[in-house]
Amino acid sequence: MAEGRLQDRVAVITGAGQGIGLAYAERFLAEGAKVVVAELSEERAASAMESLAGMGDALFVRTDISDPDSAEACATAAKDAFGSLDILLNNAAIYHDIDNADASYEYLQKIFSVNQHGTWLMSRAAAPYMVEQRRGRIINQSSGAAYSYMFPPMDEFHGLGNFSYSITKWGIVGLTKFMAAQLGQYNITVNCIAPGVTMTEATKKVVPEMFIGGMTAMTAMKQTLEPEDLAGAAVFFASDDAKFCTGQTLVIDGGLSMPA
Ligand SMILES: NC(=O)c1ccc[n+]([C@@H]2O[C@H](COP(=O)([O-])OP(=O)(O)OC[C@H]3O[C@@H](n4cnc5c(N)ncnc54)[C@H](O)[C@@H]3O)[C@@H](O)[C@H]2O)c1
C-alpha cells in the first residue's frame, strides 16, 4: 500500500470531537498519521472515536486547552502513546456553544481563555517535544470572522460589543507569526487556516440561514464550504511540501474576503 503524506507522524488535533476537527482527524488518519483527539467533551469524543474506528491509530485524550495542566498532560500523553509529537493542529474553540449576545467583560475573558490562550497553551506544551526532535508543525485555526469588520449587530444591543470571537480569531493570525519567528530555528513551522463559513453543526446552530445564503452569494465560488474542503490545506501545512512555508495564514472562504 502506498504511504500517506503524513505517514507515521503523530498529530494532536484539538476539538476533534466534531465538525472541522473531526474532518481533519479523518483526513490525517487517511494520510497515515497517528491522531490524538484532544477534546473537552467526552460525549463528542466518544462519537468521534466511533466514526474513526478502523481508520488507523487514534487516541482520545480528554483535554481542556484553556487549562495549562491539561494542555501539558495532552502533549505528554501523545508522546507516551505514539513516541513523538510531530504536528499540533489547534482547531478547538468556543464556537458551537458561543453566546453572541453576551457582551460582558467576563465573557470576553472566557472566550479569550479558550480561543486565544488555549492555542498558546497547547503550543507551549507541544513545543519542547518538537524542539527536541528538531522537527514540528503547528497549524492554527483562525476564521474569516477575523476579517469581517462590517457585520451589523445581530440583536437590539446598542452599546459597544466585545467582538470576542472575531478578535480572538484575529489574534490567532498574529500569534501564528510570533510563534513562527521564534520556532523556525528548530525546524518547526507555524501556519494558520482561516476558513469562511463552513457547514458544520455549529454553523447551522450559530449562523442564521439567511446570513449563510447572503455570504455565499458574495463569494467568488458561489458554493458553501464543507469541513472536508479544508483538510487538504491542513495536510499541506503538516507535510514536508510546506517545509519553508511559515508564519502564513491561508484564507479558505471561496473568495469572499481575499485579504492581501
Ligand atoms: N464552522 C465554521 O464556519 C468555521 C469558520 C471559521 C473558523 N472556524 C473554526 O474552526 C474550528 C472548528 O469549528 P467547528 O465548526 O467544527 O466548531 P465546533 O464548535 O463544532 O467544534 C469545536 C470543538 O472544540 C471543542 N472544544 C471547545 N472548547 C474546548 C476546550 N476548552 N478544550 C478542548 N476542546 C474544546 C468542542 O467541544 C468542539 O468539539 C473552530 O476553531 C472555529 O472557530 C469554524
State yes or no: pLDDT of 260 exceeds 90.
Answer: no
Q: What's the sign of the alpha-carbon dihedral 10, 35, 88, 125?
A: negative
Which mutation among 95, 167, 256 tests ligand 1's pocket best, with the greatest number of atoms within 8 A of CB?
A: 95
- Give 146-172 as a DSSP string: GG-TTPPPSSS--S----HHHHHHHHH
Residue 152's pLDDT is: 55
pLDDT at 208 over 60: yes
CB 140 near ligand 1, within 6 Å: no
pLDDT greater at residue 162 or residue 9: 9
Q: Is the CB of 87 under 6 A from ligand 1?
A: no
Q: For atom 23 of ligand 1, which residue has the closest CA?
A: 15
Q: pLDDT, tens digit, for every residue of 126-162? A: 999 999 999 999 999 999 999 988 765 556 666 788 8
- Residue 42's pLDDT is 98
If you average pLDDT over residues 223-239, what whole number do you get? 98
96 in contact with ligand 1, CB cutoff 6 A: yes
- In the reported structure, the alpha carbon of residue 1 is separated from the centroid of ligand 1 by a whole-number distance in angstroms of 33
What's the half-sphere exposure (Cβ side, CA atoms, 13 Å) at 89?
35
Name the residues annotated as catalytic: 165
Average per-residue pLDDT in the chain?
95
Rounded distance from Cα 200 to ligand 1 centre (Å) = 9
CA of 15 to the centre of ligand 1 (A): 6
* Burial group, residue 214, by CB count within 10 angstroms (0-12, 13-18, 19+): exposed
Cα R_g (the chain), whole angstroms: 18
Answer whether residue 34 shows pLDDT above 60. yes
Domain coordinates in residue numbering, the chain: 10-150+159-250
Q: What is the pLDDT of residue 150?
A: 72
**pTM as predicted:** 0.97
Return the pLDDT at 148. Answer: 86
The pLDDT value recorded for residue 48 is 98
Inter-residue long-range contacts of 238-243, CB under 8 Å, 24+ positions, other chains counted: 238/6, 238/9, 238/11, 238/28, 238/33, 238/87, 238/89, 238/137, 238/139, 239/5, 239/6, 241/5, 242/137, 242/189, 242/191, 243/189
17 lines ligand 1 (CB under 6 A): yes
The predicted pLDDT at position 156 comes to 63
pLDDT in the model for residue 100? 84
Residue nearest to atom 32 of ligand 1 (CA): 64
Whole-angstrom distance, CA of residue 240 vs CA of residue 84: 17
Q: Which atom of ligand 1 is nearest to the CA of 201?
A: 20
Q: Does domain 10-150+159-250 have CATH number 3.40.50.720?
A: yes
Statement: residue 102 has pLDDT above 60: yes
The pLDDT, as a whole number, for residue 84 is 98
Ligand 1 pocket member 146 (CB < 6 A): no
CA–CA gap between residue 238 and residue 248 (Å, rounded)? 13
Q: How far apart are CA 48 and CA 54, in angstroms?
A: 12
User: Of the residues 20, 64, 66, which should be mutated to test ligand 1's pocket, given the most ligand atoms within 8 Å of the CB?
Assistant: 20
Percentage of the residues of the chain whose pLDDT score is greater than 70: 97
